[in-house]
Structure 1
Amino acid sequence: MTSAAAVTPPAVAQLQYLHLEKLYGYLPGLTGALPAIFGLSPEEYAGIRDRFDAEARHAAEDLLADADLAGRVARLPFPPGARILAVGDSITDDLRSWAEILRHLLATARPADHLVVANAGLSAHTTAMVLRRWPSLLDPPPDWILCLLGGNDVTRVAGGKPQVSLAESVANLRELRRIAGERTRARWVWLTPVPVDEERADGSPAFRYGASSWRNGDITALADAVRGFDDPVVDLVDVFGVPAAPELQGPDGVHPSLAGQQRIVRALVQSLTA
């Protein structure tokens, strides 16, 4: 058996953020074919996923070592049996994301409550793309919806305009909220987009290949709009700073480091127990 550490970095990075079963799980045989799609053996595939899951679990345990935060987790307003839907892009889809850390946090601190955190993060998705899939993501109906979207809306390609205009992003987010209100009784929490490290992002080989770039001015403009929504808002611009604090952003400048993902969870817990 080849260890996960021996697998080439591109396969590891792809598997961290790209989860085809969320998009094409309806295709017969897809699950069994996933290791081969990534160029991995079943053992390598399972080992990489297990490693990321362990990192998310250890991040949760580290947070719970803080007595104040542990007390706040106990007070989180999630009733027993609640289904918590985490909506987002690759920052959420990440196998060691804030949603995965939250899942381990609740499973460790409140096992008797049987809380379910469903990670509905979809890498590379804009608000418009999520809107197209939205009704299916609301089945089964969640009790809480935590929404961190917009990072791909503000992506600029080849130095051009953002993929989705600010006005359209706001309209899409409001439409997601409207549909959820009609189809569920879920309580809603917004998380603003995460600031980037522009220099790191501009130097990332992957983003240079795709001619993709981000500007914090676009991110803060969308965050300003989100702060005006009616539901509770967790301000990640304030948490990360502008530009993002170096230790909170990963090597590519766009996807938070594990410390950054932990900081998102901490801010969410503090906001919901303020």
Structure 2
Amino acid sequence: MRKVLLAAVFTVCGFAATAQQVVIAALGDSLTQGYGLIEQEGFVPQMRAWLSERGADVRLINAGVSGDTTAGGAARVEWTLTPEVDGMIVALGGNDVLRGIDPAVARANIDTILQAAADRDVEVLLVGMQAPGNYGPEYKADFDAIYPELADEYGALYAQSFFDGLAVEGDPAAARELMQPDGIHPNAQGVARIVEALGPQVLDLVSRAADE
């Protein structure tokens, strides 16, 4: 709607209305921020290049903070959603799992983030996170359900996992080669695989945001 209003203003003022660059904020943790990598190897620069190669006129903002939880994302979403932001990738939850945070708390935080985006007519791609089984089946079921259920509730785009692109069937050694020595963060090659897998859904987000 904001872009429609801008186009109308340009027309009234006698200027030719032109397509506006879409601005996407990537709200996340160290996976988004690019932990352990030189800048151009991180998720945001690689995704930016991937989108550009496909003709998408996008400004992708790195709003990743290493170590952030869903609570951190909820606390800073208001100032992340500046007036020029048209869409948002939300990729949070890994640090909640590492700390064993109650899934109900994580759900409330992500709900806060999605509500803030809805209040501003900002389109969202919600990237899921799966809990390991060591906290028990109930914890895992409750945590894993957060993302598809909230995406459905808010009409957000949904990606099952940030790590889908790293799946290497039956070859653990090949999967390890895509990770940094800590076994948590992808290396540059791993990020490239993640971008290839997630890129089409980011393009869908760009298309939705451009239509607003």
**TM-score, L = length of structure 1:** 0.54
Q: Percent identity?
A: 28
- What do you get for the CA RMSD once the two structures are aligned? 3.2
Matched with 2:122 is 186
5+ long unaligned stretches in structure 1: 1-78, 157-161, 197-213
| Among 199, 215, 225, the residue aligned to 2:146 | 225
State the partner residue of 1:204.
none
The equivalent of 1:171 in structure 2 is: 108
The 1-side partners of 2:189 and 2:131 are apart by 15
> Given the alignment of the two structures, is residue 127 of structure 1 paired with residue 70 of structure 2, yes or no?
yes
Call closer, same or farther: CA 1:234–1:222 in 2, change over 3 Å. Answer: same
Identify which of 231, 245, 254 aligns with 2:184: 254
Give the aligned residue type for 2:72. Answer: M
- Structure scoring higher RCO (CA < 8 A, sep ≥ 6) equals 2
Alignment of 1:1-274 (within 5 A): 80-94=20-34, 95=39, 96-110=41-55, 114-156=57-99, 162=100, 164-182=101-119, 184-193=120-129, 222-228=143-149, 229-230=151-152, 231-236=156-161, 238-241=164-167, 245-271=175-201
Deviation sequence 1:200-248 (CA, Å, 0-9, x none): xxxxxxxxxxxxxx97976775333212222221122544459983233
CA distance in 2: counterparts of 1:105 and 1:81, whole angstroms: 16
Number of equivalent positions: 171
Measured in 1, the distance between the counterparts of 2:166 and 2:141 equals 12
Q: Which amino acid is 1:261 matched to?
A: V
Unaligned runs of 5+ residues in structure 2 are 1-18, 205-212
Distance 1:216 1:102 in 2: 35
8 Å CA contact 2:31–2:185 kept in 1: the answer is yes
Change (3 A) 1:109 1:215: farther
For the 8 Å contact 1:127–1:173, the answer to whether it is kept is: yes
Match of 1:120, SS state, is strand
- Would the aligned equivalents of 2:43 and 2:191 in 1 still touch at CA under 8 Å? yes
Tell me which moved more, 125-134 or 217-226: 217-226
Measured against aligned partners, the alpha-carbon deviations of 1:93-114 in whole angstroms (never above 9, x if no partner) come to 113322221112234443xx64
Question: TM-score normalized by structure 2?
Answer: 0.68
Contact (CA 8 Å) 2:47, 2:199: kept in 1 or not? no
Show structure 1 runs of 4+ deviating over 6 A. Answer: 214-220
**Amino acid of the structure 2 residue aligned with 1:222:** F
Deviation per CA, 1:171-203: give whole Å up to 9, x if none. Answer: 110110001111x2221111123789xxxxxxx
2:81 maps to amino acid = L
Residue aligned with 2:85, SS: coil
Equivalent-residue separation in structure 2 for 1:233 and 1:215 (angstroms): 25
Q: What is the deviation of 1:262?
A: 1.6
Cα 1:234–1:155 change in 2 (3 A) is same
